[in-house]
């Protein structure tokens, strides 16, 4: 309110010096200002009701047991209603990922940046192509893994390498690694 | 629009000039609710309620659209999604309480608007069409409110739907097939819930359309006023803006305070606890009542308890519909040349000591359980209700001797009107 | 013409409704009106001594009481009654932190699916889970309870008039049939399997007294668990489950009302000022 009344006084003072006129304008502008503030305040609930509701927000963590994943295999889990890829890399895949010149990548990240200390073979990424959100292939047995042996998005032909980094195609960034931690030797909690 | 002295819209700058020549929307607003619309200068606060009704229509549409974003019209989950709105959706509780109490306030405001029209005979020529459209709006509101109350799928929702659609079963021959067709089954379920949701979403926009016609029709003769004397000249009027925009703004503030008192501090007071129990087709609540704004009509429905040639049920249904339909004929039932109840001594007595107490009694009886003495009281009130509009009103309009009217609105406001030497003299004599 | 038809229609409706009135009045005079015990001896809910902290326009939750109430619900009511709209995550409102909510949830088993075989099984609840139902379906609930399905309690405090006090009164209102009632209605009796309670609309209730003795639960905060205290606590807890936003609602209401009052005064002054030019001068 202080804001509205403030502008009202300065405007009327500039416009008119006479006392009665100033008072009149002041009251009318203050009343209009109050209506404006009230109307704006109503927007708060009207806008925020579209934001995720509490039950949706509460679902934003997922636990995955990684003990059953064999090297070279991946499983798909669900995190925030989107696919999550958890893959156990083979030694060959780790070596291939580490052999890449990081400077040549579209988004410069090493495999170590994208995995956790002590579990360098566990690669956790969102299964969401960073181009337009399709689910890349390569997680399930027998799917096309793309030219770089990782993931391949069939929608517009983005190729990801064994560390889930974008190597070819329209996608702008590497597959997102969500926040996660190992809550035990074999269980990760995402989110 | 109507008076020769109405100020003409003048575009203030190049942009509005451009607009005025292509899509004269600012001109329309200026002539409808701006400085270009001359309004009688003597309107009382009773004339605020039309604008307020429009305001609550907007409140209902805005909150309703928001609620529809979170609600699911399926009998399995309707109750749960309503609770989802109350518990998990950001500010969902506020939206739902504002919508539920907004409906009540919409009706409060509209009832005052209607009874203002009845007291000041605002339905008389040349304003019949405004009145008829108004009754149509009221009927649409009733249908919309009824279907909206079914959506949370609580006990009252379900049994309200069952009882009200059951009314149609009273119609001879086609009644039962009609009832089954209306609910799309033998009892309300998914089919009924879905069509009610669809229509509950659609009808408010139909109402908005009829409201536009209602306002359009109003702008032809202009507003009536507390004296009932037609506008004669410029000194009888004031431009709508700023005079009535300011007055309406203040009235809106007062009503909003009461509205918010209900929304924030007693949001369930006008509702029924039973509607927080999920619909159960196997158990009827002990005491089924509609929302409070239907009480008078519900009382009339229940007043017919004994068969007379036709079944009591059919009489009740006929009377309930007739009690509103009778309003359509008011302009032709009340032929008194004087409009305002202020100058009609007999009419005034029957209005304040007949119609208003009757409506209050019907309100009370409609919400009371169907037992004595409420049934007998509502029967007397129902009888008076029909007598008032169909017998008493036509008779007093022919036998009554009205009190002298002021010559003009100007005279009514200022106490004198220099144009009215003759009229002023006769007024003082009487 | 309209007026003649109208008058006939009006007189017609009047005649029929007065016909009903006459018949009704005749019946009322000639037939004996038998009062029912349910009308005469039903008692309106009463508030416990001291009331509830959440009552009134400035009310706030008594978090310790809500926690105690949850304990009563879990240890007593939950054996038969579901609370399907309340999730464990909601318990954060009762003053529990994230770990405590997880621990509370984990104490309760909810239906789950074995991730390897897909068979139905049970697992410890997670915060996102809703309170489990004691019965798999209504048929099982009815079979276990003499055909009376225990109602869901999530909304009970809003689903009865004066709900919070109703719950409290009902829980403390069991007792023998009073002698006056027996004197007035010698035929009145509580059928086998039902229990007499004057706060229940038809006086006979299928629920056995759930809170029967002091110390039925052991409160962690040292509050003495009398029957009255437990009833009060669980009534407060059910008020919260019925409307978790109750306190937030009232607390939002005050600034809104204050602002509206201020804006309305401004609007009034503005209206007065605008109209001052055209108001007739008082002579």
Give residue B393's pLDDT. Answer: 94
> Could you tell me the pLDDT band of residue C36, with boundaries at 50, 70 and 90?
confident
In B288-387, alpha helices (H): 295-303, 312-328, 330-333, 345-350, 356-367, 374-387
Give residue A22's pLDDT. Answer: 65
From the CB of residue C11, how many other CB atoms can be counted at a distance below 10 Å?
Answer: 15
Q: Is-catalytic flag, B248?
A: yes
Q: Is the pLDDT of residue A78 over 70?
A: yes
Residues A27 and A89 in one domain: no
Give residue A10's pLDDT. Answer: 38
Residues B58 and B155 in one domain: yes
From the CB of residue C137, how many other CB atoms can be counted at a distance below 10 Å?
Answer: 10
Q: Is the pLDDT of residue A1 over 90?
A: no
Q: Mean pLDDT over residues C152-174, rounded?
A: 95
Residues A42 and A62 in one domain: no
Residues A63 and A16 in one domain: no
Distance CA(B297)–CA(B281), nearest Å, equals: 25
B274/C159 CB distance under 8 A: yes
Number of domains in chain B: 2
| pLDDT tens per residue across span C256-273 | 999 999 999 999 999 999
Taking CB atoms within 8 Å and a gap of at least 24, the contacts of A154-161 are A155/A129, A155/A131, A156/A129, A156/A131, A156/A132, A158/A129, A158/A130, A158/A131, A160/A136, A161/A96, A161/A97, A161/A100
Please report residues of B whose CB lies closer than 8 A to that of A56.
88
Distance CA(B247)–CA(B223), nearest Å, equals: 15
From the CB of residue A92, how many other CB atoms can be counted at a distance below 10 Å?
Answer: 12
Over the Cα atoms of chain B, what is R_g? Answer: 24
Residues B300 and B258 in one domain: no
Distance CA(C266)–CA(B242), nearest Å, equals: 15
Number of domains in chain A: 2
Residue of chain A minimizing CA distance to C276: A24
Taking a contact as any Cβ pair under 8 Å apart, which residues of chain B between 275 and 314 contact chain C?
276-278, 286, 303-306, 308, 312
Residues A15 and A78 in one domain: no
Task: Name residue, tokens 């409307």.
Answer: C243
Sign of CA dihedral C233, C234, C238, C244: positive
Question: Mean pLDDT highest for which of B133-137, C8-12, C37-41, C279-283?
Answer: B133-137
Residues A105 and A186 in one domain: yes
Residues A88 and A67 in one domain: yes
Give residue C61's pLDDT. Answer: 96
Q: For the purposes of burial, counting CB atoms within 10 Å of the CB of C146, is it exposed (0-12), middle (13-18) or buried (19 or more)?
A: exposed
Q: Mean pLDDT over residues A142-149, rounded?
A: 89
Give residue B381's pLDDT. Answer: 96
Distance CA(B163)–CA(B115), nearest Å, equals: 28
Joined together, the tokens standing for residue C247 give 């306190």
- For residue B88, give the nearest of A35, A44, A55 by CB distance: A55
Taking CB atoms within 8 Å and a gap of at least 24, the contacts of B356-364 are B356/B115, B358/B384, B358/B385, B358/B388, B359/B115, B359/B296, B359/B385, B362/B295, B362/B296, B362/B299, B362/B300, B363/B292, B363/B295, B363/B296, B363/B299, B364/B295
Distance CA(B60)–CA(B95), nearest Å, equals: 10
Give residue B425's pLDDT. Answer: 45
Distance CA(B296)–CA(B236), nearest Å, equals: 38
Task: Name residue, tokens 């054996």.
Answer: C79
| pLDDT tens per residue across span B151-180 | 999 999 999 999 999 888 888 889 889 999
Residue C174's DSSP bridge partners are C197
| pLDDT tens per residue across span B225-284 | 999 999 999 989 999 999 999 999 999 999 999 999 999 999 999 999 999 999 999 889
At B66 the three-state DSSP class reads helix
Q: Which domain holds residue B114?
A: 31-288
Q: Are A166 and A177 in contact (CB under 8 A)?
A: no
Distance CA(B56)–CA(B107), nearest Å, equals: 9
> Could you tell me the pLDDT band of residue C278, with boundaries at 50, 70 and 90?
confident
Residues B269 and B388 in one domain: no
Q: Is the pLDDT of residue A39 over 80?
A: yes
Task: Name residue, tokens 């609540």.
Answer: B285
Which H/E stretch holds residue B164? Answer: helix B155-168
C259/A28 CB distance under 8 A: no
Helix axes A19-48, C246-275, angle to 10 degrees: 150
Please report residues of B whose CB lies closer than 8 A to that of A48.
90-91
Q: What percent of chain A has pLDDT over 70?
A: 87
Q: Given B124, B247, B272, B388, which residue is catalytic?
A: B247
Residues B122 and B62 in one domain: yes
Across chain A, what does the average pLDDT equal? 85
Residues A80 and A157 in one domain: yes
Q: Given A11, A63, A132, A156, which residue is catalytic?
A: A156
Q: Mean pLDDT over residues A57-80, rounded?
A: 86
Angle (CA) B72-B75-B76 rounded to 5° is 85
Q: Do the strands C195-196 and C204-205 form a parallel or antiparallel pair, or are they unpaired?
A: antiparallel
> Is the CB of B112 inside 8 Å of chain C's CB atoms?
no
Q: Are B62 and B195 in contact (CB under 8 A)?
A: no
> Is the CB of B372 inside 8 Å of chain C's CB atoms?
yes
Q: Which domain holds residue A6?
A: 2-48
Point out the domain boundary residue: A29, A48, A67. Answer: A48
Distance CA(B57)–CA(B6), nearest Å, equals: 29
CA distance to A103, B157, B200, B352, per residue, from A94 (Å): 18, 63, 60, 91
- What DSSP letter does each residue of chain A carry, written as one string? -HHHHHHHHHHHHHH---HHHHHHHHHHHHHHHHHHHHHHHHHHHHHHTTSPPHHHHHT--EEEE-TTPPTT-EEEEEETTEEEEEEEPPHHHHHHHHHS-GGGSSS---HHHHSBTTBTTEEEEESS-TTT-PPPB-SSTT---TTTEEEEETTTTEEEETTS-EEESS--SPPP---EEESSSSEEEE-
Please report residues of A whose CB lies closer than 8 A to that of C266.
27, 30-31, 34
Q: Is the pLDDT of residue A5 over 80?
A: no
Q: Are C198 and C159 in contact (CB under 8 A)?
A: no
- For residue C24, give the nearest of B286, B376, B389 by CB distance: B376
- What DSSP letter does each residue of B84-119 carry, written as one string? HHHHTSTTHHHHHHHHHHHHHHHHHHHHHHHHHHHH
Q: With respect to CATH, is domain C37-55+152-248 assigned 1.10.760.10?
A: yes
Cα C21 to chain centroid, rounded: 38
Residue of B250, B263, B267, B394 for testing the chain C interface, max C β-carbons within 10 Å:
B250
At C58 the three-state DSSP class reads coil
Residues A23 and A70 in one domain: no
Q: Could you tell me if residue B16 is inside a domain?
A: no
Q: Is the pLDDT of residue A21 over 70?
A: no
Q: Mean pLDDT over residues C175-199, rounded?
A: 88
Q: What is the pTM of this model?
A: 0.91
- What DSSP letter does each residue of C64-89 carry, written as one string? HHHHHHHHHHHHTGGGT---TT-BGG
User: Pick from B34, B42, B32: which is nearest to B220 by CA?
Assistant: B32
Helix axes B190-219, B175-183, angle to 10 degrees: 100
CA dihedral C183, C188, C191, C197 (to 10 degrees): -70
Q: Are B47 and B41 in contact (CB under 8 A)?
A: no
Please report residues of A whose CB lies closer than 8 A to that of B249.
31, 35
From the CB of residue B417, how many other CB atoms can be counted at a distance below 10 Å?
Answer: 22
From the CB of residue C183, how many other CB atoms can be counted at a distance below 10 Å?
Answer: 8
> Could you tell me the pLDDT band of residue A14, with boundaries at 50, 70 and 90?
very low
Distance CA(C282)–CA(C273), nearest Å, equals: 16
Residue of chain C minimizing CA distance to A64: C115
Q: Is the pLDDT of residue A171 over 90?
A: yes
> Could you tell me the pLDDT band of residue A2, with boundaries at 50, 70 and 90?
very low
Q: What is the CATH number of the domain that holds B275?
A: 1.20.810.10
Sign of CA dihedral B56, B61, B62, B63: positive
Q: Is the pLDDT of residue C69 over 50?
A: yes
From the CB of residue B126, how many other CB atoms can be counted at a distance below 10 Å?
Answer: 13
Residues B220 and B80 in one domain: yes
Give residue A25's pLDDT. Answer: 80
Residues B57 and B104 in one domain: yes
Give residue C281's pLDDT. Answer: 61
User: Pick from A112, A93, A110, A79: which is nearest to A190 by CA?
Assistant: A79
Distance CA(B122)–CA(B331), nearest Å, equals: 9
Residues A84 and A173 in one domain: yes
> Could you tell me the pLDDT band of residue C114, with boundaries at 50, 70 and 90?
confident
Residues B252 and B166 in one domain: yes
Angle (CA) B124-B126-B132 rounded to 5° is 65
Distance CA(A39)–CA(B114), nearest Å, equals: 29
A50/B91 CB distance under 8 A: no
Distance CA(A34)–CA(A5), nearest Å, equals: 9
Q: Is-catalytic flag, B44?
A: no
Give residue B347's pLDDT. Answer: 95
Give residue C87's pLDDT. Answer: 95
Q: Is A157 left (phi over 0), alpha (psi -120 to 50) or beta?
A: left
Q: Is the pLDDT of residue A56 over 50?
A: yes
Residues A68 and A7 in one domain: no
Query: What averages of pLDDT result for each successive group of 10 residues across chain B (430 residues)?
Result: 83 93 94 92 95 97 97 96 96 97 97 96 94 97 96 96 89 89 93 96 98 96 93 92 94 97 96 94 88 95 90 92 95 92 95 96 91 90 96 93 90 81 47
Q: Could you tell me if residue B10 is inside a domain?
A: no
């Amino acid at each position: 309110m202080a804001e509205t009344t403030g502008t009202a006084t300065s405007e009327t003072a500039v416009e008119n010096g006479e006392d009665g006129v100033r008072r009149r304008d002041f009251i009318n502008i203050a009343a209009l200002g109050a209506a404006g503030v009230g109307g704006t305040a109503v927007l708060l609930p009207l806008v925020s009701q579209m934001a995720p509701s509490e039950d949706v927000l509460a679902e934003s963590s997922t636990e995955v047991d990684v003990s059953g994943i064999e090297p070279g295999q991946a499983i798909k889990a669900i995190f925030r209603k989107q696919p999550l890829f958890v893959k156990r890399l083979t030694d060959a895949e780790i070596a291939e990922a580490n052999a890449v010149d990081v400077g040549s990548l579209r988004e410069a990240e090493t495999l170590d940046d994208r995995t956790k200390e002590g579990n360098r073979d566990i690669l956790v990424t969102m299964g969401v192509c960073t181009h337009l959100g399709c689910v890349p292939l390569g997680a399930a047995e027998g799917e096309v893994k793309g030219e770089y042996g990782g993931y391949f998005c069939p929608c517009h032909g983005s190729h990801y390498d064994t560390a889930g980094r974008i190597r070819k195609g329209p996608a702008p960034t590497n597959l997102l690694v969500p926040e996660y931690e190992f809550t035990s030797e074999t269980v990760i909690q995402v989110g | 629009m109507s008076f020769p002295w109405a100020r003409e819209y003048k575009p203030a700058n190049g942009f509005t000039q451009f607009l005025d020549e292509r899509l004269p929307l600012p001109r329309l607003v200026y002539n409808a609710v701006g400085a270009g619309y001359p309004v009688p200068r003597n309107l009382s606060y009773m004339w605020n309620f039309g604008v307020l009704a429009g305001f609550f229509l907007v409140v209902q549409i805005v909150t309703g659209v928001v609620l529809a974003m979170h609600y699911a019209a399926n009998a399995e989950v309707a109750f749960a999604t309503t609770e989802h709105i109350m518990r998990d959706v950001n500010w969902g509780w506020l939206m739902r309480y504002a919508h539920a109490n907004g409906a009540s306030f919409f009706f409060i405001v509209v009832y005052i608007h209607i009874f203002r029209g009845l007291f000041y005979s605002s339905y008389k020529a040349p304003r019949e069409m405004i009145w008829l459209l108004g009754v149509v709006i009221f009927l649409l509101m009733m249908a919309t409110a009824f279907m909206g109350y079914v959506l949370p799928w609580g006990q009252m929702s379900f049994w309200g739907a069952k009882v009200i659609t059951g009314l149609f079963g009273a119609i001879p021959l086609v009644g039962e097939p009609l009832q089954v067709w209306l609910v799309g089954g033998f009892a309300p379920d998914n089919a009924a819930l879905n069509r009610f949701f669809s229509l509950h979403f659609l009808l408010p926009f139909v109402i908005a359309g009829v409201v536009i016609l209602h306002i359009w029709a109003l702008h032809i003769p202009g507003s009536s006023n507390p004296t009932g004397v037609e506008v004669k000249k410029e000194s009888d009027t004031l431009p709508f803006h700023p005079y009535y925009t300011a007055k309406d703004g203040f009235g809106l503030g007062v009503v909003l305070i009461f509205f918010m008192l209900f929304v924030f501090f007693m949001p369930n007071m006008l509702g029924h606890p039973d509607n927080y129990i999920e619909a159960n087709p196997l158990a009827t609540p002990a005491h089924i009542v509609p929302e409070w704004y239907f009480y008078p009509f519900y009382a009339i429905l229940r007043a017919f308890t004994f068969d007379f040639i036709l079944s009591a049920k059919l009489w009740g249904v006929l009377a309930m519909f007739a009690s509103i339909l009778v309003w359509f004929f008011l302009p032709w039932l009340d032929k008194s040349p004087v409009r305002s109840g202020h100058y009609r001594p007999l009419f005034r007595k029957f209005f304040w000591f007949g119609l208003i107490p009757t409506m209050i009694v019907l309100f009370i009886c409609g919400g009371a359980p169907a037992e004595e003495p409420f049934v007998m009281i509502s029967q007397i009130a129902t009888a008076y209700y029909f007598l008032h509009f169909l017998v008493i009103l036509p008779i007093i309009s022919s036998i009554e001797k009205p009190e002298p009217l002021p010559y003009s609105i100007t005279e009514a406001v200022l106490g004198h009107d220099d144009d009215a030497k003759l009229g002023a003299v006769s007024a003082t004599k009487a | 013409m309209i007026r003649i038809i109208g008058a006939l229609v009006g007189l017609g409706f009047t005649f029929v409704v007065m016909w009903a009135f006459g018949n009704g009045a005749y019946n009322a005079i000639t037939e004996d009106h038998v009062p029912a015990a349910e009308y005469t001896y039903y008692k309106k809910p009463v508030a416990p001594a001291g009331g509830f902290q959440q009552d009134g326009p400035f009310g706030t939750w008594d978090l310790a009481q809500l926690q105690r109430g949850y304990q009563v619900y879990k240890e007593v009511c939950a054996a038969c009654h579901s609370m399907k709209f309340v999730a464990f995550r909601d318990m954060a409102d009762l003053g529990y932190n994230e770990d405590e909510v997880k621990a509370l949830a984990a104490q309760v088993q909810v239906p789950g699916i074995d991730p390897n075989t897909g068979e139905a099984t049970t697992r410890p609840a997670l915060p996102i889970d809703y309170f489990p139902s004691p019965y798999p379906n209504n048929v099982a609930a009815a079979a276990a309870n003499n055909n009376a399905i225990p109602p869901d309690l999530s909304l009970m405090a809003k689903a009865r008039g004066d709900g919070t006090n109703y719950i409290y009164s009902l829980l403390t209102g069991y007792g023998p049939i009073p002698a006056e009632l027996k004197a007035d209605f010698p035929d009145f009796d509580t059928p086998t399997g039902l229990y007499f309670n004057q706060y229940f609309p038809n006086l006979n209730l299928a629920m056995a007294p759930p809170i029967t003795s002091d110390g039925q639960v052991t409160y962690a905060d040292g509050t003495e668990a009398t029957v009255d205290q437990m009833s009060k606590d669980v009534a407060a807890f059910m008020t919260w489950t019925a409307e978790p936003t109750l306190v937030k609602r009232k607390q939002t209401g005050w600034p809104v009302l204050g602002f509206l009052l201020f804006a309305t005064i401004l609007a009034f002054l503005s209206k007065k000022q605008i109209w001052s030019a055209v108001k007739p001068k008082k002579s």
